[in-house]
């Protein structure tokens, strides 16, 4: 039987260019999404909305992104990555424009929620990781996954300070329009990630042919995949809540808007280091243990931040700590999907794991807004995040890091 890590598909460009283009796409697409929290206070102040209104829009974005990701991944697996990236980038840019001129909650939910959510499903680091799995040699993949996630994190470092500067210089509406224009850079970059869809006859993996339905049935009957998907819910809950509500939480504590922006930026910079480290560690230790340590570390970091007096120093220290653990879950999670099932339906199967992540994000952002309006604070959601971190640390421990029997090597 063949190895689950079969030879990559032929690419028109060198691996270094594939990685560079993919990393730039991840940087550009992750930046505006990670800066969403900067727009909460000015938008709700100008329009007189509650934070639950803004929170619902970002919750919809997370949910739509999660629902759309498996479908975008399936299309990319079947017909190639370029078309999906181009359509996704255009919808993302349109969503930012609609968000900029959303004078009603409905338009905010359409722009910031529906359109940007669909755009992210088609043009984000998840599609980039799928392309890396298909185009790069096996020995390049773990570090390339880490580099792709780190590039997205660097976008989180760059865009919040840029967003703050733009909001102060031209207002929050024009700042969103600038972000929309930047998104169009994805179109030419996507051409470097051209993959041949399996519909054209080329197969990502050797071995018996498998339909999409068969691949899904196999995955959801596999206990380790279900555990992996379940644990990923916590990652989305924590990240989305912090991204959307941390700037407002710090402002409520009497700190300036700049502290919130720089805390998000520091999270992004630290995450670039953490994601690369996680990619490196994924090749040197059991991935399930790495995930368990990451979730446990997050729980401890969040508890320490909530218990400490709010200050610029505590916020930045929290940003550094949580940033090192931010998206460091992605390299071992994506690598585990590939270990279990190979590369052929990598984008789709990781997409279903990511749906769990985004379902967590939906509840994290939504509960943040709803419970703030109900209780006047975020304490309940912070402590729920701690409990989820502890639960996911335990959930990942029983995962078995082996290929499914279909791909397992057989004795001669």
Q: What CA–CA distance (Å, rounded) separates 344 from 222? A: 17
pLDDT digits 0-9 by tens, 348-398: 888 888 889 988 988 998 899 889 889 989 999 999 999 999 999 999 999
- Positive or negative torsion for Cα 30, 63, 111, 53: negative
Of 45-54, 284-293, 336-345, 402-411, the range with the highest mean pLDDT is: 284-293
> Which of 257-266, 291-300, 389-398 is predicted least confidently?
257-266
Q: Is the confidence at residue 317, as pLDDT, over 90?
A: yes
Find the mean pLDDT for residues 81-100.
94
| pLDDT value of position 233 | 95
| pLDDT value of position 200 | 39
pLDDT digits 0-9 by tens, 227-249: 999 999 999 999 989 988 898 89
What percentage of the chain exceeds 90 in pLDDT?
41
| pLDDT value of position 35 | 84
Of 395, 397, 107, nearest to 230 (Cα)?
395
What percentage of the chain exceeds 70 in pLDDT?
92
> Which of 144-158, 252-266, 270-284 is predicted least confidently?
144-158
Of 151-160, 283-292, 350-359, the range with the highest mean pLDDT is: 283-292
* Comparison of pLDDT for 2 and 122, the residue scoring more: 122
| pLDDT value of position 90 | 96
Q: What CA–CA distance (Å, rounded) separates 28 from 31? A: 6
| pLDDT value of position 33 | 84
Of 123-132, 145-154, 334-343, the range with the highest mean pLDDT is: 334-343
Q: Is the confidence at residue 407, as pLDDT, over 70?
A: no
* CB-based contacts of 411, cutoff 8 Å, min separation 6: none
Give yes or no for a contact between 206 and 4, defined as CB atoms under 8 angstroms apart.
Answer: no
> Which of 88-102, 173-187, 255-269, 295-309 is predicted least confidently?
255-269
pLDDT digits 0-9 by tens, 202-223: 344 444 577 888 888 999 999 9
| pLDDT value of position 6 | 45
| pLDDT value of position 52 | 84
The token pair that represents 36 in the structure block: 């969403």
| pLDDT value of position 195 | 59
For the chain, helix (H) and strand (E) counts, in that order, are 18, 0
* Comparison of pLDDT for 336 and 283, the residue scoring more: 336
In the block, tokens 């004078």 appear at 103
Residue burial 234-260, b: 16+ Cβ < 10 Å; e: rest: bbbbbbbbbbbbbbbbbeeeebebebb
| pLDDT value of position 408 | 61
pLDDT digits 0-9 by tens, 13-57: 687 888 899 999 999 998 888 788 788 888 888 898 888 888 889
| pLDDT value of position 204 | 45
* CB-based contacts of 45, cutoff 8 Å, min separation 6: none
The token pair that represents 65 in the structure block: 């992104």
| pLDDT value of position 315 | 94
Of 337, 134, 330, 78, nearest to 222 (Cα)?
337
| pLDDT value of position 398 | 95
| pLDDT value of position 409 | 56
Give yes or no for a contact between 211 and 77, defined as CB atoms under 8 angstroms apart.
Answer: no
């Amino acid at each position: 039987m063949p190895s689950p890590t079969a030879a990559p598909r032929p690419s028109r460009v060198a691996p270094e260019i594939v990685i560079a283009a993919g990393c730039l796409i991840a940087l550009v697409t992750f930046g505006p999404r990670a800066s969403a929290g900067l727009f909460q206070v000015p938008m709700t102040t100008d329009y007189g909305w509650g934070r639950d209104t803004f929170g619902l829009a970002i919750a919809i974005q997370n949910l739509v992104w999660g629902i759309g990701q498996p479908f975008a991944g399936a299309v990319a697996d079947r017909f190639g990555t370029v078309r999906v990236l181009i359509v996704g980038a255009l919808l993302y840019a349109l969503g930012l424009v609609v968000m900029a001129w959303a004078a009603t909650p409905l338009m905010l939910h359409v722009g910031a929620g529906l359109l940007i959510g669909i755009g992210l499903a088609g043009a984000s680091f998840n599609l980039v990781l799928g392309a890396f799995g298909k185009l790069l040699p096996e020995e390049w993949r773990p570090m390339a996954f880490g580099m792709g996630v780190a590039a997205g994190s660097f976008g989180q470092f760059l865009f919040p300070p840029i967003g703050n500067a733009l909001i102060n210089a031209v207002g929050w509406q024009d700042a969103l329009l600038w972000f929309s224009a930047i998104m169009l850079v994805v179109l030419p970059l996507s051409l470097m990630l051209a993959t041949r869809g399996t519909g054209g006859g080329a197969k990502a993996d050797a071995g018996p042919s498998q339909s999409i339905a068969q691949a899904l049935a196999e995955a959801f009957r596999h206990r380790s995949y279900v555990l992996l998907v379940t644990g990923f819910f916590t990652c989305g809950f924590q990240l989305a809540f912090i991204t959307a509500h941390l700037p407002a939480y710090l402002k409520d504590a009497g700190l300036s808007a700049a502290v919130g922006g720089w805390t998000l930026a520091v999270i992004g910079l630290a995450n670039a280091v953490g994601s690369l480290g996680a990619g490196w560690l994924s090749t040197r230790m059991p991935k399930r243990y790495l995930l368990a340590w990451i979730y446990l570390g997050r729980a401890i970091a969040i508890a320490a931040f909530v218990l400490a007096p709010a200050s610029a120093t505590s916020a930045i220290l929290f940003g550094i700590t949580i940033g090192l653990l931010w998206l460091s879950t992605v390299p071992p999670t994506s690598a585990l999907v590939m270990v279990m099932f190979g590369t052929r339906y990598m984008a789709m199967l990781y997409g279903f794991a990511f749906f769990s992540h985004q379902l967590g994000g939906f509840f994290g952002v939504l509960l943040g807004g709803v419970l703030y309006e109900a209780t006047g604070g975020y304490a309940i959601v912070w402590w729920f995040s701690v409990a989820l971190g502890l639960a996911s640390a335990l959930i990942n421990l029983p995962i078995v890091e082996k290929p499914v029997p279909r791909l397992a090597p057989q004795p001669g």
